[in-house]
Structure 1
Amino acid sequence: MRFDGTAEYVATDDLTMAVNAAITLERPLLVKGEPGTGKTELARQVAEALGLPMIEWNIKSTTKAQQGLYEYDAVSRLRDSQLGDERVNDVRNYIRKGKLWQAFEAPGKVVLLIDEVDKADIEFPNDLLQELDKMAFHVYETGETVQAKHRPIVIITSNNEKELPDAFLRRCFFHYIRFPDADTMRKIVEVHHPGIKPTLLTEALTQFYNLRDQQGLKKKPSTSEVLDWLKLLLAEDLSAEDLKRNGADALPKLHGALLKNEQDVHLFERLAFMARRGR
């Protein structure tokens, strides 16, 4: 079982090596990187490339680790007991299986994505240590132990919003997705916008990387944002010359796809004003 990328996902050599190392070691793969660098999509592409189902657990600030195992609905059971419902005689009727339980009881190997783990409380990763290590957990209400039939391929993503506990990190294989260089970005663009004119792509990527390198940016545009921007440029049938007309001292055309807050827009407006005064 080996991942070598897919036609829809440009995976660098170090990324494919990290995925395959995690599969061999049977350890969760912890993937960090800027938002929009393809961390979540990686799990989907691994599942597709290996022909495996995928179970996705999207983490929020209110998510608790227990929800990934199961949730016991005591309120519904109490209500049903007051109504004389016979379902109350079996506690299993009030246990809702979480994403880990679903992955553990799957009839075959699956890819389990735990997306944006750093959004949750700092104790969230620690609360999953034993379950991810032993691939088993105990259900107190029924007295049973749920053991993984087939060890899932676990991919955990993080946007680096919080530091993760050392004990959690020790149990993972780690990979940081660096922002793509220009050559890699060209390959990514070709996947999403095949046949784009080389002159347009060269000019667009030159402006994009110049924008990313600008000192003082609050939020640097990501891979997903440059793809959206190129989609708009193609929809408007703009050429490389159309982009150049803006000049290096002004905001890029359709900059709303790249700059996502007023502070960064004002930064480029000030730079444009200073450039005009210096002429």
Structure 2
Amino acid sequence: MRFESTETYVATDDLAIAVNAAVTLERPLLVKGEPGTGKTELAKQVAESLGLRMIEWNIKSTTRAQQGLYEYDAVSRLRDSQLGDERVHDVSNYIRKGKLWQAFEADERVVLLIDEVDKADIEFPNDLLQELDKMEFHVYETGETIRAKHRPVVIITSNNEKELPDAFLRRCFFHYIKFPDVETMRKIVEVHHPGIKEALLTTALTQFYEIREQQGLKKKPSTSEVLDWLKLLLAEDMDPEDLKRDGSTALPKLHGALLKNEQDVHLFERLAFLARRERG
């Protein structure tokens, strides 16, 4: 099984090498990169490319590692015992299987995505070390041990919001998705907007990269945002002339697709003001 670019996803050579290395080593692939660079989409494309089913565990700030294994609903069991329900005699009726359990018990190999691991508490990654290493865990309430029938392909994403523990990093194969250069971005755009006119694409990408390189920008626009922007430009049937910015504003047309906070909008408005004053 080897991963490579698909019809709907452009994987750079180094990214494909990283995925295939993690699969060969049977280690989790830890993928970092700016938000919007396709980390979550990568897992979906790996699953499609390798012909595997994907199980997705979306991590939140309140997520605990135990939830990935299982949860024991003691409250429901107590309530049922008070009602005289026969289900209370079998504790397994009150065990909720987590995403790791689902991946471990699957009859075929699956891709397990642990998405945005850095959102959780700092201890969260360490709490999963043994389970991801040994591919098994113990269910104390039933006394059984759950072992993976087939070792899943584990892909873990992080937006770099906080540092991950060294012990966790040692067990992963790491890859940082660099922001695409212009040529790679052209290939990505062609996948999503096939047949886009060359002149429009060149003008739009020139503006896009100028915006990303602007000093003082709080949030740089991402790959997903430039794709949205181009979709709008095509829907409005704009041509390169329409994208020219006049002296009154340094903001690009339909800038709401690219700039996502008022601080960055004000930055470009100030730039236009300073440019007009210099000309005056």
TM-score of the superposition, structure 2-length normalised? 0.98
State yes or no: 1:52 paired with 2:45: no
Shift of the alpha carbon at 1:249? 6.0
Per the alignment, in what secondary structure is the counterpart of residue 15 of structure 2? helix
Shift of the alpha carbon at 1:247? 6.2
Q: 2: CA distance between counterparts of 1:267 and 1:179?
A: 23
Contact 2:37 2:179 in 1 (8 A): yes
State yes or no: 1:99 paired with 2:99: yes
State yes or no: 1:127 paired with 2:127: yes
Contact 1:249 1:275 in 2 (8 A): no
Per the alignment, in what secondary structure is the counterpart of residue 175 of structure 2? strand
Shift of the alpha carbon at 1:250? 1.4
Aligned length: 279
Match of residue 208 from structure 1: 208
Match of residue 14 from structure 2: 14
Shift of the alpha carbon at 1:88? 0.2
Per the alignment, in what secondary structure is the counterpart of residue 209 of structure 1? helix
Match of residue 256 from structure 2: 256
- Per-residue deviation, residues 119-158 of structure 1 (Å, max 9, x unmatched): 0000000000000000000000000000000000000000
Per the alignment, in what secondary structure is the counterpart of residue 133 of structure 1? helix
Q: 2: CA distance between counterparts of 1:114 and 1:6?
A: 22
- Per-residue deviation, residues 78-117 of structure 1 (Å, max 9, x unmatched): 0000000000000000000000000000000000000000
Runs of 4+ that moved beyond 3 A: 245-249
Letter in 1 for 2:102: Q
Q: 2: CA distance between counterparts of 1:140 and 1:5?
A: 43
- Per-residue deviation, residues 234-276 of structure 1 (Å, max 9, x unmatched): 0000001111244696100000000000000000000001111
Per the alignment, in what secondary structure is the counterpart of residue 146 of structure 1? strand
Contact 1:137 1:147 in 2 (8 A): yes
Moved more, 187-196 or 240-249: 240-249
Contact 1:246 1:253 in 2 (8 A): no
Letter in 1 for 2:44: R
Task: Report 1:1-279 matches (<5 A).
Answer: 1-246=1-246, 250-279=250-279
Q: 2: CA distance between counterparts of 1:243 and 1:264?
A: 19
Structure 1 spans left out of the alignment, 5+ residues = none
Distance 1:245 1:266, change over 3 A: closer
Q: 2: CA distance between counterparts of 1:248 and 1:29?
A: 48
Letter in 2 for 1:35: P
Q: 2: CA distance between counterparts of 1:249 and 1:213?
A: 18
- Per-residue deviation, residues 5-24 of structure 1 (Å, max 9, x unmatched): 21100000000000000000
TM-score of the superposition, structure 1-length normalised? 0.99
Letter in 2 for 1:169: L
Contact 1:74 1:94 in 2 (8 A): yes
Aligned-pair identity (%): 87
Q: 1: CA distance between counterparts of 2:160 and 2:221?
A: 17
Q: 2: CA distance between counterparts of 1:226 and 1:5?
A: 20
Q: 1: CA distance between counterparts of 2:108 and 2:252?
A: 49
- Per-residue deviation, residues 160-187 of structure 1 (Å, max 9, x unmatched): 0010000000000000000000000000
Q: 2: CA distance between counterparts of 1:245 and 1:35?
A: 28
Contact 2:245 2:252 in 1 (8 A): no
Per the alignment, in what secondary structure is the counterpart of residue 150 of structure 1? coil
Per the alignment, in what secondary structure is the counterpart of residue 145 of structure 1? strand
Shift of the alpha carbon at 1:45? 0.2
Letter in 2 for 1:164: L
Contact 2:247 2:276 in 1 (8 A): no
Q: 2: CA distance between counterparts of 1:262 and 1:277?
A: 22
The CA RMSD measured in Å over matched residues stands at: 0.9
Q: 2: CA distance between counterparts of 1:174 and 1:198?
A: 36
Per the alignment, in what secondary structure is the counterpart of residue 278 of structure 1? helix
Q: 1: CA distance between counterparts of 2:247 and 2:9?
A: 33
